[in-house]
Structure 1
């Protein structure tokens, strides 16, 4: 029996251990840029919150609509009068010979009573209700357009964060290659110096270069880790998870090299920022209508039905308990007559706010035009700069290679080699940055040219 219990404990312990391992297992992701965009649009914190805002707006819309639909309520009350109220009746009511100043205390009600009432309320006409339904539709439109804008911003942020990871990765790889080359040159120079054919300054100059590269590599490795964490945060992936990017910076740059995009244009009114400004103007106009509607009468009706019973003891669940029914049908008409100019002042405020929103709308139109022109210019510069930096890198590699050959032939000094190497390292970083700028600036241009509309999720 003891052996059986011990075996059972071991089995349960192993199961618990395996469950704990499963719960602490780190998730792994391997994503291309397109896969990252698809994942982020579904799982990023901003995208999910924006979709929740749309759901909230849908509920608010129905809340407003429901105010004009039948409202049914019920009420059940029970009272137990531990000390019943006492009334005083002139004694002459019961005894004509009694002194007129005498009163007799009496208790009319029974100690316990219960009642149940159901009420049906129906709004028949309310101008503010009609306008409220219109405003609910506008608010829903605002939240849907806000979701579209959020998705565009999330997409751009993912592209930039993904590009930063690739940029840091390529920088690490290039620095490692440069360190390998410098260390080889340093070893060769050290041997030449030890054989009495070189100067110690040449060795020291290469040592300085190697130390600087090591420092840059360590810093870039840390930047790469931060870039990965930033990408995870943008995607909505836990920071402690594992993430691998599967695209290469150069391949992605070629995909984002699109001269046709420079010729593309849109109507500014289709831009999401303009549409949001238009929604705000529509909402301001609706608020003007709402204030004006408050001068209209409100008509509502109600009908209720109920029953009540009383007893000196709790017999309300008994078949013998008597209940007395009652029912009321009522109509209520409320007509605003005079507000001492308060409604007029409120309406004037809303009209001025609406006027401001129209100015904001016109500004949004021109701002969209400016953003498109600016983004197009930035992308054009990024393409031109990429071509320039590609040529500069080729030249810097040739110059560094020539100076390296001259150095080991004793024609060039270590200082000249160091200058050529520094120029090469800068050209490498400029080339990597130029590739990133092509990707980032195309994403920015695509964002301002985007004319997407809200699409509900499919169940």
Structure 2
């Protein structure tokens, strides 16, 4: 199915129109990877997520550091008085209420809280998780860039083949015209060539649109504008290794998805510790300084005060116990998911190696076929020019030749995509 899709992609060719580039980017594959790592917007967002996790870590740590708060107040009773009467027979004594103003400085320090220490450790793991997510995003984007680069090269090669074939057939057509006029060949031979030339002209136009579509996809992955002209400096032949082999080794620890699951498992383990910490007391201390800016007539407030406070959880009707059990169940589920992923990755690695081997076999076969098809086509073209075969036989040979070219390029793209998928799974795509 995948092979048919590739052939349709190369031969169908009927999408997007041509853009009008302004800027120009000249790059090889290595430079394309670097450009995507620096400018791709998905990677930028993942980088910002790492920065955000760092700030969250600091906010978590800051909760256990000294906290300083200051307040100032002013009160005025607007001339009101306090009336005090000690003896019913004596007149009441009135004391005016003076305006007051206070400045209060309080310093608090968390001395012990089990949840705080576990929270800091969890925040560190969350930061590590965001860093692993960034690496996976970089890996996925680079993998897309590699495949996009290959797709542009294959589309360009198909366009060149169609254009060259069209030019050759037009030359045959021009040579046939005078032969028809003098009666050496029948007009039907010329008509058959005309139909083939017109078909090739449409194929070339579709190939141009398909080539531009492939470049648009690569532009998106590189993080450049739609108006940027791309010039790829590496030809397709640079990636056709003479001794391709599918013997890549696989280490689970190098896989980005597995690394993410490992960190998530560690975070789940910390959730158990977090729930257990709710059984522990919380101890905090404070220092309070009060300065009377406008003192009342009667004042017994101390200027300095220190204190300790302990909050001891006693009974929660089984709520804490239930939460610990829930966290343990979450950990068991996380470990099951990790084991499942290990199996899936092992099977995926085996399948990708199988795909690469199949693609290599197909590539070797198409290499031989394309050589034979070219020879057959060139031989029949010479025979046609000598009047030994009909125009129908020549157009049939031409179609067979183009199909062989399409099959060959499809096999090349299939091998390159299979190798890229294997490199992505094994974590080598960023290093190659």
TM-score by length of 1: 0.82
Judge conservation of contact 2:135–2:256 (CA < 8 Å) in 1.
yes
- C-alpha distance 426-310 of structure 1, shift in aligned 2 (>3 A): same
Q: Does 1:84 align with 2:61?
A: no
Superposed CA offset, 1:2-37 (max 9, x none): xxxxxxxxxxxxxxxxxxxxxxx9542110011111
Superposed CA offset, 1:211-251 (max 9, x none): 11111111121222222222121111222223211111122
1:64 aligned partner: 60
Superposed CA offset, 1:169-195 (max 9, x none): 112211110110111111222222222
Q: Does 1:306 align with 2:297?
A: no
Q: Does 1:383 align with 2:383?
A: no
Superposed CA offset, 1:258-314 (max 9, x none): 535x223133244222221111111111111111111211111111213122289xx
Q: Of 245, 256, 264, which residue of structure 2 is paired with 1:272?
A: 256
2:170 aligned partner: 183
2:396 aligned partner: 419
Query: How far off its partner does 1:105 sit?
Result: 7.7
Q: How does 1:298-447 map to 2 (within 5 A)?
A: 298-310=282-294, 326-447=303-424
2:187 aligned partner: 200
1:448 aligned partner: 425
TM-score by length of 2: 0.87
Query: How far off its partner does 1:452 sit?
Result: 9.4
Q: Does 1:222 align with 2:209?
A: yes
What SS does structure 2 have at the residue aligned with 1:435?
Answer: helix
2:7 aligned partner: none
Judge conservation of contact 2:261–2:338 (CA < 8 Å) in 1.
yes
Greater alpha carbon shift after TM alignment, 27-36 vs 61-70 = 61-70
Superposed CA offset, 1:98-126 (max 9, x none): 5xxxx88865232xx43322221111111
Q: Of 203, 225, 244, which residue of structure 2 is paired with 1:259?
A: 244
Judge conservation of contact 1:30–1:243 (CA < 8 Å) in 2.
yes
For 2:103 and 2:413, the matched residues in 1 are separated by 73
- C-alpha distance 337-393 of structure 1, shift in aligned 2 (>3 A): same
1:6 aligned partner: none
Q: How does 1:165-180 map to 2 (within 5 A)?
A: 165-180=152-167
- C-alpha distance 237-394 of structure 1, shift in aligned 2 (>3 A): same
Query: How far off its partner does 1:166 sit?
Result: 0.9
2:15 aligned partner: none
Q: Of 26, 30, 41, which residue of structure 2 is paired with 1:30?
A: 26
Where structure 2 has 5 or more consecutive residues not aligned to the other structure, the ranges are 1-20
What SS does structure 2 have at the residue aligned with 1:263?
Answer: coil
Superposed CA offset, 1:186-213 (max 9, x none): 1222222222222222222111111111
Query: How far off its partner does 1:446 sit?
Result: 1.3
Query: How far off its partner does 1:63 sit?
Result: 1.9
Judge conservation of contact 1:273–1:368 (CA < 8 Å) in 2.
no
For 2:251 and 2:190, the matched residues in 1 are separated by 64
Judge conservation of contact 1:253–1:438 (CA < 8 Å) in 2.
no
What SS does structure 1 have at the residue aligned with 2:303?
Answer: strand
2:42 aligned partner: 46
Q: How does 1:273-292 map to 2 (within 5 A)?
A: 273-292=257-276
2:3 aligned partner: none
What SS does structure 1 have at the residue aligned with 2:240?
Answer: helix
Q: How does 1:130-149 map to 2 (within 5 A)?
A: 130-149=117-136
2:113 aligned partner: 126
For 1:270 and 1:227, the matched residues in 2 are separated by 30
- C-alpha distance 379-452 of structure 1, shift in aligned 2 (>3 A): closer
Where structure 1 has 5 or more consecutive residues not aligned to the other structure, the ranges are 1-24, 313-323, 455-459
For 2:250 and 2:394, the matched residues in 1 are separated by 52
Judge conservation of contact 2:143–2:429 (CA < 8 Å) in 1.
no
Query: How far off its partner does 1:84 sit?
Result: 3.0
Q: Does 1:153 align with 2:140?
A: yes
What SS does structure 2 have at the residue aligned with 1:29?
Answer: strand
For 1:440 and 1:78, the matched residues in 2 are separated by 75
Judge conservation of contact 1:84–1:107 (CA < 8 Å) in 2.
no
Judge conservation of contact 1:271–1:451 (CA < 8 Å) in 2.
no
1:96 aligned partner: 89
What SS does structure 2 have at the residue aligned with 1:309?
Answer: strand
Query: How far off its partner does 1:132 sit?
Result: 0.8
For 2:239 and 2:250, the matched residues in 1 are separated by 26
Q: Does 1:109 align with 2:98?
A: yes
Query: How far off its partner does 1:420 sit?
Result: 1.1
Query: How far off its partner does 1:371 sit?
Result: 1.8
- C-alpha distance 40-303 of structure 1, shift in aligned 2 (>3 A): same
For 2:108 and 2:200, the matched residues in 1 are separated by 80
